[in-house]
Amino acid sequence: MALMTKEQYLDSLRKLNIKVYMFGELIENFVDHPIIRPSINSVAMTYELAQDPQYEDLMLATSNLTGEKVNRFTHLHQSTDDLRKKVKMLRLLGQKTASCFQRCVGMDAFNAVYSTTYEIDKAHGTNYHENFKKFLEYVQKNDLVVDGAMTDPKGNRGLAPSKQEDPDLFLHVVERREDGIVVRGAKAHQTGAVNSHEHLIMPTIAMREGDEAYAISFAVPSDAEGLYMIYGRQSCDTRKLEEGADIDLGNKNFGGQEALVVFDDVFVPNDRIFLNGEVEFAGMLVERFAGYHRQSYGGCKVGVGDVLIGAAALAAEFNGAAKASHIKDKLIEMTHLNETLYCCGIACSAEGYPTEAGNYQIDLLLANVCKQNVTRFPYEITRLAEDIAGGLMVTMPSEKDFKHPVIGPVCEKYFKGVNAVPTEHRMRVLRLIENMTLGAAAVGYRTESMHGAGSPQAQRIMIARQGNIEHKKELARKIVGIDEESIAKREAATTK
């Protein structure tokens, strides 16, 4: 089976013995839990669209490993065309769900681990690349969702992993056995972790001598012995628990999720290990994954932005303000910012190049520029959406008030906008904007735009590293006629 249906995906989750805690309780049936289910629906959309012939070109690809059609989320990029289609696919899914659909991290991890293991084997004679290829073939053949897990809790950010007072604050090997390793620690902020069949683990930072126990990459099933998850809270999440909740949810059907994934002495067999102490390659893996994931934001956040811009335009229309020049200008600005993000995602894809392993890597500088813009532009798009929506977005009475036999008609009367538009339609659009800018969906759009795929400073470090300032200085020297001889004389004079 190369492609699962939406229904098969849901059934596959039910068969797993995944341990999830939320609100201090072990969740018996996480698939149908009202808080978790919207995020599962978002992942399910990646399966649903893959079955739709009109989206086949974006959603499917031909595997270089098996020669079969696979979901693009399990694919190794074979060209710049693949890289561009990835961005377009992510924008499409953002438009369809108005939320995080959680499958990007695994796809980005596949491509980073594939190329890095090839180079580790070349340097050390290890067998990591073959291990990973077998794992990915298994993923492709079963169309699995994989949580790409990189971020550790980190503890004291001023100390290396091996120098932490509590060694578990970075995931690490606690026992090396003949048949594998035993690991302990956790991965934080894990998008879609609960909805995944497998976890693909990577180091979170570049490592150095002394950090060998922390320089690890491997894969384990989501229901592995000793692995459990603690579900992260989201703003307004308990609205989903309210009886008959609908309008107040804003986005009733879709959402994102994050979790703390805890590894309490989890065993990993040798054939599931992709990095094991080769500290000099940890940084390469981190940089490559970060580059792919920063490219992703030029697609997924743009698709969600499309929905938010549309909601703001509807709010203006329902308020009777759509013809105002300042409203038109704000919508133009929102569109300009959103399309600029998309341009960056497409640009870093178009400038991609093959790795030694054969899969394609994006242009790292442009990918980091893309994500740097994502840390800013969605915040301005959000601000403008809130401006257009008006204060009612955050002062509106509850859905139950609108349904009340006595005060319901009062709410209908005083919250009416344009006469031709039902009050309920106005309320629904305002709740959607609230959800996307302040509520549960804001995690996957607003806040994730800042911290997902690394903090803004992480991108600035990479931009400085990739920006090639010395080359730019040389360009300026040539333009003004400063030759190498005069430079040498100046340097000689300053050293005397």
Q: pLDDT of 312-363, one tens digit each?
A: 999 999 999 999 999 999 999 999 999 999 999 999 999 999 999 999 999 9
Structurally, how many domains does the chain consist of?
2
Residue 300 a catalytic site member: yes
Per-residue model confidence (pLDDT) at position 425:
98
Per-residue model confidence (pLDDT) at position 493:
76
Enumerate residues 6+ apart whose C-beta is below 8 A from 401.
407, 408, 411
Per-residue model confidence (pLDDT) at position 484:
76
Per-residue model confidence (pLDDT) at position 483:
83
- Residue among 27, 32, 82, 25 nearest 59 (CA): 82
- Do 327 and 280 lie in one domain? The reply is no
CA distance 142 to 145: 9
Q: Assess if residue 127 is contained within a domain.
A: yes
- Residue among 249, 197, 187, 236 nearest 220 (CA): 197
- Residue among 192, 154, 195, 194 nearest 171 (CA): 154
Q: Which position has the higher pLDDT, 454 or 108?
A: 108
**What confidence tens digit (pLDDT) does each residue in 231-268 have?**
999 999 999 999 999 999 999 999 999 999 999 999 99
Q: What 3-state class would DSSP assign to 21?
A: strand
**Both tokens of residue 45?**
């959309």
Per-residue model confidence (pLDDT) at position 485:
75
Q: Which position has the higher pLDDT, 2 or 400?
A: 400
Name the pTM for this structure.
0.95
Using the predicted structure, report yes or no on whether residue 480 has a pLDDT greater than 60: yes
**What confidence tens digit (pLDDT) does each residue in 373-403 have?**
999 999 999 999 999 999 999 999 999 999 9
**Which residues in 224-301 belong to E strands, given as ranges?**
227-231, 258-269, 273-276
- Identify the CATH number of the domain in which residue 374 sits: 1.20.140.10
- Identify the CATH number of the domain in which residue 236 sits: 2.40.110.10
Q: Assess if residue 322 is contained within a domain.
A: yes
Q: Which domain holds residue 409?
A: 296-470
Q: Assess if residue 354 is contained within a domain.
A: yes
Residue 104 a catalytic site member: yes
Q: Assess if residue 490 is contained within a domain.
A: no
CA distance 399 to 51: 36
pLDDT band at 441 (very low <50, low <70, confident <90, very high): confident
Environment class of 109 (CB within 10 Å of its CB; exposed 0-12, middle 13-18, buried 19+): buried
CA distance 464 to 455: 15
Q: Assess if residue 479 is contained within a domain.
A: no
Q: What is the mean pLDDT of residues 168-189?
A: 98
The one catalytic residue among 74, 75, 114, 258? 258
Give the DSSP H or E segment for 389. helix 377-389
Residue 412 a catalytic site member: no
Q: Assess if residue 350 is contained within a domain.
A: yes
Per-residue model confidence (pLDDT) at position 41:
98
The one catalytic residue among 104, 344, 348, 411? 104
Least confident of 214-218, 374-378, 489-493: 489-493
Per-residue model confidence (pLDDT) at position 403:
95
- Do 119 and 266 lie in one domain? The reply is yes
The one catalytic residue among 191, 204, 355, 375? 191
Residue 191 a catalytic site member: yes
Tokens 């499958």 found at: 103
**Which residues in 241-392 belong to E strands, given as ranges?**
258-269, 273-276, 353-354, 360-361
Per-residue model confidence (pLDDT) at position 213:
98
Using the predicted structure, report yes or no on whether residue 492 has a pLDDT greater than 90: no
Using the predicted structure, report yes or no on whether residue 1 has a pLDDT greater than 60: no
Q: What is the mean pLDDT of residues 35-41?
A: 98
CB of 381 closer than 8 Å to CB of 337: yes
Do the annotations mark residue 191 as ligand-binding? yes
Mean pLDDT of the chain: 96
The one catalytic residue among 297, 342, 360, 445? 297
Per-residue model confidence (pLDDT) at position 496:
62
Q: What is the mean pLDDT of residues 184-210?
A: 97
- Do 197 and 313 lie in one domain? The reply is no
- Do 132 and 276 lie in one domain? The reply is yes
The one catalytic residue among 33, 47, 100, 344? 100
Q: What is the mean pLDDT of residues 51-58?
A: 98
Q: What is the mean pLDDT of residues 11-20?
A: 98
- Do 127 and 249 lie in one domain? The reply is yes
- Do 302 and 258 lie in one domain? The reply is no
Per-residue model confidence (pLDDT) at position 486:
74
Per-residue model confidence (pLDDT) at position 444:
81
- Do 371 and 420 lie in one domain? The reply is yes
Residue 293 a catalytic site member: yes
Q: Assess if residue 38 is contained within a domain.
A: yes
| Amino acid making up residue 416 | K
